[in-house]
Structure 1
Amino acid sequence: MHSSFHEELAVLSEEYQRHLADYRLNLEQCWQELQNSPTSATLKEISSIAHRLAGSGKAYGFDSLSHVAKGLEMACNSAATKPAPEFSHTLDQHVVDLLDCLRTNTSHAHGNESTPVSHHHQVSAGDDAATILIFDDDTDFCKMLSHLLRSTGYTVHGIDTLDAFVSCIERYRPGAVIVDMDFFGKRFAGANKVLEWRQRNGEPIPVIFVSGYDSFELRLAAVRAGGNFFLSKPLDEDRLLHLLDSELNLGPKNPCRVLLVDDDTDLLRLYKSTLTQAGFAVQTASGATSALFLLNQELPNLVLIDVHMPHCNGIELGQLIRQHEKFSHVPLLFMSAANDIDTQLACARLTSDEYVSKPIEPWRLVMLVKSRSSRQRSPGSVASSHGGIEQQRDPLTALHSLGSFRARVQSRLDSLQSHQTFAVLKLDVRDFHTVNNVYGRITGDQVLQRLAWELSQCLDDDGILGRESGDEFLIMTGTGATATSVTQLAESLAATTRKPMQFDDQRTIVLSSDIGIAMTTLDTKIADDLIRHADSALFVARRSSAPTVKYFDASLEDHQRDRFNLAQEVRHALQQNQFTAAYQAVFSFKDGSLIGFEALARWQHPSRGLIGPGAFMQVMEEQGFISELTLLMLETALKQLAHWRKTHSNLFMSINLSALDIQKPDFIDALKNLLNIYQLTPDSVVLEITETALLADWQTAIQTIDILRAMGVKLALDDFGTGYSSLSYLNRIRPSTLKIDKSFVSEWSESHDESLLRTMVHLGHDMDMNVVAEGIETVEELNFLKDINCNCYQGFLRARPMFKDDVALADWFSASKP
């Protein structure tokens, strides 16, 4: 099959590689001038060369070149603040590195090595664009015609053989087919193939025959083969477009018009080719004057402007457009590799925060432009002319929104035959909030955009990908899907999610996902039911400790019904004061004495008896009841602590906080009041926080921690080592206590590998923390942790969780009286 877009990209990339030789010569000349006679003008020229290579290098797939060029650009910015004689010393190694990189790549251009266009995935036009198939053995003609039709908004596939004629029609379901009459010297081969297909199939798909010759015999053969039109080469392009639009009613309705403004002609060629392939009508300008001329001539729906251009920079051009009475409504999207905050703010004022950092890979460019074109400012914009289809796109990723996805599922269900099946999959990225909290929402959005693109590469041509919200994606397979093929797709999606994502600042982010799957049955008639079933399966998958793929079955609905009923029971139990506290003692390794308690929630169910937290805690968190339980536990436990401290004055009480407590710390006022009522010192209270709770909203969490620390309340980091990034937060939190999760103690019992537990204890002591080991169940565990200088422990070996009356009867409690 002929792939004109990939061939065009290869040609552009080879041409860019040849241009790198010009960049090298220019840089060598500037470098020589700077060494001989350093001036700010020469420094600025070197910075401009580096700036262009940093952007275009990444876009064309030369990642190392882009990285080295970015380093030189930053060095130029640093040199600009120094005296001219110091310019060459500041830039020396950076220039040498970039020249070496340019020599390497330009030498490849003259050899036989392939061009590294590794990240150029094929992009496609919108779902509503008419598809045209071109069958022609003349690849140059096919490429030219494909480019013409794509530039006017069609989706085009070029094929250079007739062997794939029937399979391609079945696969792509075209609106029309353009067929050459002769193939590889075989007269009437195209007409014969169409006639054979017509006789077997009879589908009323329009066929336009083309030929480099014109005779009565050719035209008669076209008529007998069922052709709708016959055109002679070279084609009358206007005639062809008129036939497709007016006669066959296939013409796209006002493809979105995009104007690209950038002084880097290599990037302009690449970006124009990429966006044209995606169904946009693209014009390019290399400066402000030509851009304003094209604005007036083409009336674009969107303008992309590079910030750093000579004579009139991008921000100034944006101001000219904003002040112009004719163009002030046109949306602008600024592009720049600069990290200058002032530049970003200036762009934001002009475009409502539409600022994109270079380098921009082609796949990301398509995503950005699709997303931006769905929010046109002009009431006569292309979005409205598409009948609202583009308005159903997710603004961040340009994927289908939930409403658009649902409509396509329903359409497929309505046309589904009894022997056909398909599936809906729902994918949720695990702990994605952590990415936002650690790296910021800008990086989080970039991760979602890249993930959306990578997931789309896993789908067949008839698969649909949508984004419901946040980090949740919806996938619809094609008809004919089987359990085996859907499982393979789910595995592919999961593997794609796990692929490390590299960012320009050398960060690497690795994700994982849960997937819920619902297959159609003979009873499936409503899209919402199928999506809901996928959601039910995902809900169960998310409860697993590891990333999971789960198929829907009827029992899952029973499970969800049980969860709903449980939530109602928990609500009632809170109102009826059915929750109470059990207390697990904490002992000192030094002398075995009792030093405190951990308060643990228990549910005294009227018919099922005593229920542990594993049965109700998750429902409480999901339903937002957990804050009520926290207040209840504070009241119960601190009241009991005050009673015990009358005879055991040095005891402390540990109470667990949830993620919701950290995010909405309503408990703090209650805690202050309870400390006052029961005359307890703040340091007698230890609040236990898990890493997961902290990372749910780090910015709010650190504010809550600072408030608690100022009160004098002690903090303990619970389940240490089981979270997302323990060490990176310890230094900022500075808890007084580090609790080693019982899973690590059990692991030592099985393997006797001492290194991990020793490291944890030493780490805690190095940071002046009290180290508590949880889950001590054997004498061997007790002795080992004592030998490595762990401070305290709790576990079934010495004391299980007990109610207050049972505690009073324990021998270790009476023995610990002062």
Structure 2
Amino acid sequence: MASGKNESFRERKQRLRQSFVAQFPERLAQARELLARLRSGSDQREALERLHLVLHTLKGSGASFGFDAINAPAKAAEHALRGVLDQDARVTDRLILALEQALGALEGLDLALELPAAPESWPRFEIPARHAVEGDTRERRQRLVYLCDDDPIIAQELSGQLSCFGYQIIPFVTLDSLRQAFRRERPSAIIMDVIFPEGQDAGPTAIAALNAGIDQPVPCIFMSSRDDFSARLRAVQSGGNAYCPKPVKAVELAEILDQLTNPGATEPFHILIVDDDPDVAQFFSMVLEEAGMVTRVANEPARVPGALDGFNADLVLMDLYMPNCSGPDLARVLRQMPGHLSLPIIYVSAETNLDRQFKALEVGADGFLTKPLEPARLVAEVHLRAERMRILRSLMIRDGLTGLFNHNTILQLLDVALASCRRNQTSLCMAMIDVDHFKSVNDTHGHPAGDQVLRALGRTLRLRLREVDLVGRYGGEEFAIILVGVDAVHAKEIMDELRADFAEVSFFADDVEFHCAFSGGIAAYPQFTSASALVDAADRALYQAKRAGRNRVEIATTTAELADAPPSEPMGGHAREGLNSKASSSGVEMRDEH
């Protein structure tokens, strides 16, 4: 980490420590006032709870900022108060004496003397490497791939098909031309034949020579009509990352390229920090942001629902004891709110009693971290739980076969996108597409081949559309696409381009080559004002495309003009029930298509 950034972190932490020192006398004065109320006998229960909160906060905050002298007296006083609160016992002279002694010890501290003369060293920690989520369209469009095969027909045909998946493919038919291009610009990956006129292993030899002169080898996929062990061994020894026997399937090759050229960057974790002590909350925020996370802070429990709105939090880090609303109470509130039932909640508290920790976890929290908390452990714990949440959330909202959003999720996202368009007065299009003659693909080539088609179409949509566009598998062979900020004419141009490219992709089943196409229907907002109207109109326009001969895209005009399309036709998709269908190996029903 750069020294400037290190200094920034140290300086900010030093300011937080100084802020704690400045507020320390005021907090002790507040504790004195509450102790006086206990002596007077007025509102003792409230005074007990508030005094416990003050001392608990002092203990946790002091420990977080390295003021160890605070811990013993604050802990003793907090323990005495907790015993009375748990047993609902009366205030005794013994309790008053214990509190007097603790406060006296705290008041005798000079925290300014404990501030370090020089900023402490940066707490070093590393975030475990994470894999990127597929679908970063911008990055993939920039990825250059060289393909070298001495057969010009194979080189051109395979390059054309791979370009449909969002890669920039440059074909070469000689090793020398590849070498010259490599010296001018290094690609993200190379697809290389094994056999060339120069020799049986000329391809692997050329790759070994190219990688020998650079620090970071370029990923390489070998392809060959040879499938013997010696050919594969030579490819591995030359630095090959994958080996594809010919005829090469473009879909499988695209999957390998996805893995090899994955950039490794993901959306940073979003963490909401809830703590009534602003300095501690800012300290945690500072540590997590230095580790590359995005944070939002709420110092009052009542502000948490609003803070979560639009933040897309991966995890909530909250204090256990807060005024008017404890951590467990806040956890119960969140668990009763739609959308937050599975949101991970981690308590961070100076509470060390295991029974009270367990009771706090019973309301639906996911973990407990005890102050003081070293920055490295804070980052590791938050990262681990947030990453687990990302994985679980992805499994819940995505289709298992294609990796796209599932049926329910894409409909929810349509509602959200539509609401945003209303607020911002922007346009939106809903496209429904359906693979033509898909039943015959399953019947002729088998369900694994059908699944290969669906995966390829899903990948084509995901990689070719913009990052702001949303793609889901609506059911069977039908897909739903939300195109933001475009009108119907532009949407049709986009879908027609995708349709033409997808029709060029070759699929193989038992060495038999076949092609597929899709039809589409488009409905636009604000012409259709509700989510249900958009879906219904797009589906009916899809039926019109099927009826007009398939392999085409139609735009929904008005409800009246679409009224002639019978809703029971099996070609439209989502509302068609009682159809003859067969289950694909993915477990999703495939519609019969006439």
TM-score, reference length from structure 2:
0.40
TM-score, reference length from structure 1:
0.29
